[in-house]
């Protein structure tokens, strides 16, 4: 009897186990197949979105490269203009120096000519007096009476007066000529000074244009660097957001299925639990990587802003601004949006975070 009862109990347990196995085979296996298919579809969707993001990133990189080439060509054109302005400035400076030297040389030549003319006049007058004295000595070889001596003295005084009058007239004429020459030289000097002032105005204009070109080149280069960095970081964030959202969705689906299926765990269910644990671990590591990427981006942007502020201060002639750590927006004093505002977590929260950084 005891063996019979044990046998019946064993048969009943076998039947129950068979029923349980059948129910598991009918319910769990299709669900697991459906889950596997669902995960495969999700993987294919993620791969497709990844390819799309890579294509978009490639297009952005090509656009940035095109803008960079265009900027380099503009920079080359600006350099050509700067060289042209510099050569014109050198020509103007050499021309000014040459004309100033010509004016100085002309004035010196005119002064030497005036001195030479005065000396020539004196020499001619003395030669004339000497010849007249020699002629008189040849004619008058007899002893002179007092009357003749008086007449001779009178004649000599008259000649001396005539010579003085001629010398004064000659000196006045030479002085008038010298005055005319001085006036002409002064006029040429004033004209040259006006030309020099005009050249200086042109030089200042060229210098201001060169400064504008240099500041414009520096600003455009900084804008290109900032745009490229922001586009690269946006692409990284887009990829990470897609992965995080897919993993979060898978985790929620698994939690719903676990709430529905509250039966004892089979070996298959234990494998599913391990899979869930792996998914949670991936999500945590992905969030940590995202936070690290945000820190890196924020650090790069802060450094770039500091460098740009220093460059602007140097151009304006100001002292370098003092950047203190508590005034800078760093990842340590910036709380993540996913913790402070739960309703804006995920893709929307990260987009707002990136937009705030771009505004700064």
The whole-number pLDDT of residue 47 equals 83
The whole-number pLDDT of residue 248 equals 67
The whole-number pLDDT of residue 225 equals 74
Q: CA 356 to CA 360: how far, in whole Å?
A: 6
- Which among 163, 104, 154 is positioned nearest to 129, based on CA atoms? 163
DSSP secondary structure letter of residue 333: T
Q: CA 324 to CA 344: how far, in whole Å?
A: 30
The whole-number pLDDT of residue 151 equals 65
Q: CA 271 to CA 254: how far, in whole Å?
A: 13
Whether the Cβ atoms of residue 170 and residue 120 lie closer than 8 Å to each other: no
The whole-number pLDDT of residue 196 equals 72
Q: CA 232 to CA 56: how far, in whole Å?
A: 11
Q: What does each of the 360 residues of the chain score in pLDDT, given as a tens digit?
A: 677 787 788 788 878 877 877 777 777 777 877 877 888 888 888 888 888 888 888 888 888 888 888 888 888 888 888 888 888 888 888 888 888 888 888 888 888 888 778 878 777 887 787 788 777 766 665 555 666 666 666 767 666 766 666 666 666 666 766 777 777 777 777 777 777 777 777 777 767 777 777 777 777 777 777 777 777 777 776 776 676 677 667 667 766 766 665 554 455 455 555 655 665 566 566 656 666 666 666 666 666 666 666 666 666 555 444 444 444 444 444 444 343 344 444 444 444 444 444 444
pTM: predicted TM-score of the whole model, two decimal places: 0.32
Q: CA 105 to CA 72: how far, in whole Å?
A: 49
- Which among 125, 122, 116, 114 is positioned nearest to 174, based on CA atoms? 114
The whole-number pLDDT of residue 330 equals 43
SS3 content of the chain, % helix, strand, coil (to 5): 90, 0, 10
- Which among 145, 300, 174 is positioned nearest to 228, based on CA atoms? 300
- Which among 179, 184, 173, 164 is positioned nearest to 117, based on CA atoms? 173
* Radius of gyration for the alpha carbons in the chain, expressed in angstroms and rounded: 53
The whole-number pLDDT of residue 294 equals 61
The whole-number pLDDT of residue 20 equals 77
The whole-number pLDDT of residue 173 equals 67
The whole-number pLDDT of residue 123 equals 77
Q: What do you get for the CA distance between the two ends of the chain, in Å?
A: 89
* Cβ burial 179-194 (10 Å sphere, 16+ → b, else e): eebeeebeeeeeeeee
């Amino acid at each position: 009897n005891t063996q019979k009862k044990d046998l019946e109990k064993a048969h009943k347990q076998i039947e129950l186990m068979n029923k349980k196995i059948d129910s598991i085979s009918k319910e769990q296996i299709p669900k697991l197949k459906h889950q596997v298919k669902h995960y495969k579809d999700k993987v294919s969707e993620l791969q497709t979105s990844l390819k799309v993001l890579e294509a978009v990133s490639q297009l952005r990189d090509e656009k940035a490269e095109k803008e960079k080439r265009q900027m380099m060509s503009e920079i080359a054109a600006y350099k050509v203009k700067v060289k042209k302005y510099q050569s014109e400035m050198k020509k103007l400076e050499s021309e000014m120096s040459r004309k100033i030297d010509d004016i100085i040389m002309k004035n010196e030549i005119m002064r030497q000519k005036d001195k030479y003319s005065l000396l020539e006049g004196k020499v001619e007058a003395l030669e004339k007096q000497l010849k007249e004295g020699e002629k008189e000595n040849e004619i008058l070889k007899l002893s002179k009476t007092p009357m003749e001596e008086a007449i001779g003295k009178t004649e000599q005084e008259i000649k001396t007066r005539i010579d003085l009058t001629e010398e004064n007239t000659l000196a006045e004429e030479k002085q008038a000529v010298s005055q005319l020459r001085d006036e002409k030289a002064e006029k040429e000097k004033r004209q040259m000074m006006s030309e020099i002032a005009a050249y200086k105005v042109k030089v200042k204009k060229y210098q201001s244009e060169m400064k504008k070109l240099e500041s414009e080149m520096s600003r455009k280069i900084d804008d290109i660097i900032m745009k490229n960095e922001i586009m690269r970081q946006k692409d990284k964030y887009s990829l990470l957001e897609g992965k995080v959202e897919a993993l979060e969705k898978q985790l929620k689906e698994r939690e719903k299925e676990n709430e529905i299926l509250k039966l004892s765990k089979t070996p298959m269910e234990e494998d599913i639990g391990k899979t869930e644990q792996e998914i949670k671990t991936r999500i945590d590591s992905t969030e940590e990587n995202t936070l690290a990427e945000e820190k890196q981006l924020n650090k790069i942007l802060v450094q770039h802003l500091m460098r740009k502020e220093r460059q602007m201060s140097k151009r304006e002639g100001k002292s370098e601004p003092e950047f203190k750590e508590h005034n800078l927006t760093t990842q340590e004093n910036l709380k993540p949006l996913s913790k402070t505002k739960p309703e804006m977590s995920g893709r929307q929260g990260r987009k707002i975070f990136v937009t705030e950084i771009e505004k700064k």
